[in-house]
A and B are shown apart, each in its own frame.
Chain A
C-alpha cells in the first residue's frame, strides 16, 4: 500500500492557498484577488519552461554521468586541471554545502588547493541546471554576463586561497549528522 498522506502533506500550503484564493473571489476580497493573480502569473511562468528544463537535466544525467569526469580528476595541474574541475562542477546539482564533501574527495585525490576552491566557485554559480533556470528567469544576457565575469574571479580566488592558506591546508572528512 502506498502512503498517500505524504504527497498531500507536501501540497498542504498550495491547497490552503487555493482555498483562500477561491474564497477571495467568492467574497470579492480584493487583496486576496490581487495575490491570486500574482500567483497565477508566477505559476504560468514556471510551468511553461521548468518541466522542459528538467527533462533536459534528466537526459543530460543519463548521457553524461559525472563519474566519467570524476575519474579523470586528480593531480592534473595547469589549464587542464582547472578546466576539468570546472567541468565537473558544472555537472553537479544542489546547494553549496553539498559541494564540501566533493571538495574532500578532490583533496584526497590530490587536487591542488587552488583547484579545490575553483571547483567551489564554479559549483556555486555555473551548474548547468542552474544556468538553465537562470536563463529562463533573468534572460540570456544576464546569465552570460554574470558567468563570464564570475569565472576569472573564481580562478583568481583559487590562486589567492592557495597563497593565503598555504601548504598546511587540508580538507577534513565530516561525518554526516
Chain B
C-alpha cells in the first residue's frame, strides 16, 4: 500500500518537475485538469468503496477462495466470465473490487477473466453496439472477446 504511494508520488513529482522546467503555464493547466478529474471520479469511487466494504463483510473469504480461488478450476473462470460480461462497472471503479477479490483469495487468472470480460464484453451495451456495427459484427466481436478473455485468464493464471 505504501509502496504505491511512494512510486506514484515519485513519478508524479518527477513529471511535475520536468513539466515545470519546460512550461509553467502548461503544468498548472495539467495539474488543474488532473485535480478536476479526480474530484469528478471521487464521489462514485467512494460510493463503490462503501459498497465493497459492506459486501465483503457479508461474504466470507472462504466462499471467495472456493469459487474464485486457484482451486476453483473452470467454475471460477465461468463465474468470472459471466459476471464480467453482464455487469457494467466503469473501469476505474472495478479495480478496487478486483484488488479486494485478490486480497480475499481469488486467483489472478480468475480476476484477469473478470476484468477482461468487464472491459471487452458488454451484454448491456450490445443493443447500442448493434446500432453502430450491425448485428453480425457486434455479436461476433463480443463472442470473440469472450473467448479471448478466457485465454488471457488461462495464461495469466499459468504465469503468475
A positions within 8 Å CB-CB of B: 10-11, 13-14, 17, 31, 34-36, 38-39, 42-46, 48-63, 95-97, 100-101, 103-104, 117, 120-121, 124-125, 127, 129-130, 132-134, 136-138, 141-142, 145-146, 149-150, 153-154, 157, 160-161, 164-165, 169-172, 174
A137 & B96 in contact (Cβ 8 Å cutoff): yes
Q: Are the C-beta atoms of B31 and A38 separated by less than 8 Å?
A: no
Indicate the member of A153, A165, A169 with the most B CB atoms within 10 Å.
Answer: A153
Question: What are 11 A-B residue pairs whose CB atoms fall within 8 Å in the complex?
Answer: A10-B43, A51-B38, A52-B8, A53-B12, A59-B34, A61-B30, A100-B129, A103-B133, A138-B95, A138-B102, A160-B144
- A-B pairs, top 9 by smallest CB distance, nearest first, are A58-B34, A48-B5, A58-B33, A59-B30, A62-B30, A38-B53, A137-B99, A52-B12, A54-B38
Instruction: Give 6 new A-B contacts, CB below 8 A, not counting A62-B27, A121-B145.
Output: A43-B46, A53-B12, A58-B30, A59-B31, A63-B19, A149-B152
Interchain CB contact under 8 A, A157 and B132: no
Alpha-carbon separation in the docked complex, A52 to B14 (Å)? 11
Beta-carbon nearest neighbor of A175 in chain B:
B131
| B21 within 8 Å of A (CB atoms) | no
Could you tell me the distance between the alpha carbons of A134 and B91 in the complex, rounded to whole angstroms? 9
Contacts of B100 in A (CB 8 A): 42
- Which A residue sits closest to B90, measured CB to CB? A95
Cα-based distance from A124 to B118 in the complex (angstroms): 9
Q: How far is the CA of A137 from the CA of B100 in the complex (A)?
A: 9
Which residues on A sit within 8 Å (CB–CB) of B26? 62-63
B116 and A138 contact, CB distance less than 8 A: no
Question: Could you tell me the distance between the alpha carbons of A160 and B33 in the complex, rounded to whole angstroms?
Answer: 39
B5 contact set on A, CB distance < 8 A = 48-49, 52
Q: Is the CB of B38 within 8 A of A50?
A: yes
Chain B residues whose CB sits within 8 angstroms of the CB of A61 once the complex forms: 30, 33
Which A residues touch B41, using CB under 8 A? 50, 54
Chain B residues lying within 8 Å of A142, measured Cβ to Cβ, are 108, 111-112, 156, 160
| Closest A residue to B57 using CB positions | A35
Residues from chain B with Cβ under 8 Å of A150 in the complex: 116, 148, 152
> In the complex the two chains form, is A120's CB within 8 Å of B141's CB?
yes
CB closest residue in chain A, given B34 = A58
CA distance A146 to B160 in the complex (A): 10
Q: With A31-B57, A133-B95 in contact, do A124 and B120 touch (Cβ < 8 Å)?
A: yes
Contact A38 B57 (CB under 8 A): yes
User: A59, B57: Cβ atoms under 8 Å?
Assistant: no
B148 to chain A, nearest CB (A): 4
